[in-house]
Structure 1
Amino acid sequence: MTGPPAPIWPRCSFVAQAAGDPLEGSAPPADRWFLIEHPGPWGRGGLTDSGLDPGVVAALSQWATAWSARLVLVRRPERAARNGTTRRWFRVDSRPGHESIRTGEFTADAELPAAARSTGEIAEGPLNLVCAHGRHDTCCAVRGRPVAAALAASAPGSTWECSHVGGCRFAPAVVLLPHGYLLGGVPVADAVEAVRHYRAGNLDPRWLRGRTSLPPAAQAAQHHARAVTGKTGIDALRVLGLEPDGAEGWRVELAEPACTVLLRERWVDTGRPLTCAATAPGRMRVFDLAELHRSTKDT
């Protein structure tokens, strides 16, 4: 006898948005990024399932582990026909105070491990990545591709579709490089405006998941401090210190303006899968604001 049919779950990002899943503190860890132009097709596993040489993937993965980097495939949203076989790579440093983008070209996958360690050339201007990895999660394609197309039209040459970056239920996901700020659930028109704000040195907190080079608790602390102080500059609320505060708490010291943020971390059973591909209910991490103190000496 067969068992009862598996439940049919709605698309993860629409459910998460309706439920009000908190964005803050959900940006995946990455001090650096290595972007590889790859027109596709992309398999579900990204680098490991898209036709790249396994030895090259292993070498890049070893480099990424050593440097706390994230490896992603990128392609132009317009899918324009390419001349020849030359493709681009980008190496991005997203650490506070070290923000930079380097780039170069390659014609064979075997060149990529050396490219990840090379100097490369300085790339002009910020880059926008939009997750459109439909084979990893349907929401990323359905909601990401319209955003990528709109950003490509408003900021030609600086927008790329990318493979999985994490947190599919927050699709569409937009990565603002070089700083590594991650936006989630942002509508098309707001995404265009958010990129304009970023290029002007500011952030739109409504869609901000956090900065990938910061621990989740620090991301959440900045979120709560932005809400209280109104500071939205890309370099505002610099993290000075992060330490545990009791069994489930965090104490985060911020500067410019000076703040002390106390958080309580908890895990919530959602009663639903957190991705379109998942088959079982998941848990999500939440950071509640316990206290926030602004320094009276801050100027």
Structure 2
Amino acid sequence: MPDAAPQDPYCQHPGDAPRRRPSGRLDEGRCSVQALLAGDSPIATAPPARRWLLVEQPGPWGRDALLQSRFDPVVAPLLAQRAREAGLRIQMVRRPGGRLADAGGRWAVADVRACWVRWSVRDTDAELLEVPLDGSVGSPSTEPTFLVCTHGGHDACCAVRGRPLARALDGDVWETSHLGGDRFAANVLVLPTGHLYGQVPEDGGDLVEAHRRGEVLLTGLRGRAGLTPPAQAAQQFAREQLGSVGVADLPVTGVATPGADADGAQRWTVTMTGPDGDVVVVLDSRLSAHSRRLTCAATTPGRFRTWHLVSVHPAPVHPGGVG
């Protein structure tokens, strides 16, 4: 058995009780097992993408799920280019355990800042080169949608951890392609709000119930997609300090940094709207003290950015009442 990854106080999630392990048995050398052993904090690791294109495609996915699947191989690169130009991140999706015969040709566009998802149906893959991708077509979703990363072609941890979770989750659940942060498997993206969770244990029931109440679950929260990493980290630290768990609580209104220190540390000041006025969060960011393989496929070890809370306090009120 390899040694546990070295402890780095800057990487730990503050105040966490021992975490329940995600489902699925993996060798101790796998990236998600090493992250659990090290107690890595998942804070501020959600993708910054604001707009998402979901494309239903059952069957196997290769490392590049769009280009290496049963999706039309002529259409795939053209759709990838169209999505890039429109600022959309593509996620291939399929129902848990879904077969080709179960496919309904569904697709959706989501905007995690505006908090909507709109679903449509295609008869052919080529239609996705012509349909509007701005949310002007389709039926809005009326409940949270849970996307569980099960992309084994990208990292085995995602398949081993994600597939049992996708089968166990209750609600509108889809398997999805690579979400990033393989070492935090099992990973779940919740739409339309864009909250991303890692190391989700067992059946994920607490996560589902929280979002049905219109709340986030602080345990395992990696951040909110559509925000920059410092904004994600600051929002989560403020949630923990203030007990604000509504999905729309503490919207970020400003992010500033005076620059990096000589040792590479960087201080950020993030302003957000709180229940009683503006809230200012000051936090530090730096690279982890130790490096290791961050995915199972990595050939060399790497370092990762970590976040540390300095303070959370109300914004000063200036003469005239402007915070």
Name the TM-score, length of structure 2 as normaliser.
0.82
Do the aligned residues in 2 keep the contact of 1:34 with 1:116 (CA within 8 Å)? no
Distance between the aligned counterparts of 2:226 and 2:86, measured in 1?
12
Deviation per residue, 1:217-259 (Å, 9 max, x gap):
0000011111111111101111011112332221100112331
Distance between the aligned counterparts of 1:263 and 1:70, measured in 2?
29
Q: What amino acid sits opposite 1:19 in the alignment?
A: A
Distance between the aligned counterparts of 1:106 and 1:232, measured in 2?
37
Sequence identity (%): 44
Deviation at 1:123, TM superposition (A): 2.8
1:205 aligns with 2:205: no
Q: What amino acid sits opposite 2:111 in the alignment?
A: D
> What corresponds to 2:6 in structure 1?
none
1:182 aligns with 2:196: yes
Q: Which one is further off, 58-67 or 212-221?
A: 58-67
Do the aligned residues in 2 keep the contact of 1:104 with 1:115 (CA within 8 Å)? no
> What corresponds to 1:91 in structure 2?
109
Distance between the aligned counterparts of 1:37 and 1:207, measured in 2?
27
2:166 alignment partner, one of 143, 148, 154: 148
Q: What amino acid sits opposite 2:249 in the alignment?
A: A
- Summarize the Cα distance change of 1:50–1:116 in structure 2 as closer, same or farther, 3 Å threshold: farther
Give SS of 1:14's match.
Answer: helix
Distance between the aligned counterparts of 1:249 and 1:205, measured in 2?
23
Give SS of 1:242's match.
Answer: strand
Distance between the aligned counterparts of 2:73 and 2:48, measured in 1?
24
> 1:1-299 maps to which residues of 2 (within 5 A)?
10-79=29-98, 82=101, 86-95=104-113, 98-115=114-131, 117=133, 119-151=137-169, 154-155=170-171, 158-189=172-203, 191-247=204-260, 248-257=266-275, 258-295=278-315
Give SS of 2:67's match.
Answer: helix
CA RMSD of the aligned region, Å? Answer: 2.1
Deviation at 1:21, TM superposition (A): 1.2
Deviation per residue, 1:73-130 (Å, 9 max, x gap):
11110325626x64111111111xx111111111221111223525222233221100
Do the aligned residues in 1 keep the contact of 2:148 with 2:175 (CA within 8 Å)? yes
Q: Which one is further off, 34-43 or 251-260?
A: 251-260
Do the aligned residues in 1 keep the contact of 2:280 with 2:312 (CA within 8 Å)? yes
Number of aligned positions between the proteins: 283
Q: What amino acid sits opposite 2:112 in the alignment?
A: S
- Summarize the Cα distance change of 1:114–1:188 in structure 2 as closer, same or farther, 3 Å threshold: farther
Distance between the aligned counterparts of 2:268 and 2:95, measured in 1?
41
Do the aligned residues in 2 keep the contact of 1:91 with 1:116 (CA within 8 Å)? no
Deviation at 1:29, TM superposition (A): 1.7
> What corresponds to 1:3 in structure 2?
none
Q: Which one is further off, 161-170 or 192-201?
A: 192-201
- Summarize the Cα distance change of 1:150–1:88 in structure 2 as closer, same or farther, 3 Å threshold: same
Give SS of 2:130's match.
Answer: helix
For structure 1, the residue ranges without an aligned partner over 5 or more in a row are: 1-7
Q: What amino acid sits opposite 1:170 in the alignment?
A: F
Give SS of 1:49's match.
Answer: coil
Do the aligned residues in 2 keep the contact of 1:60 with 1:116 (CA within 8 Å)? no
Deviation per residue, 1:142-177 (Å, 9 max, x gap):
0001110111xx22xx10000101110010000000
Q: What amino acid sits opposite 1:150 in the alignment?
A: A
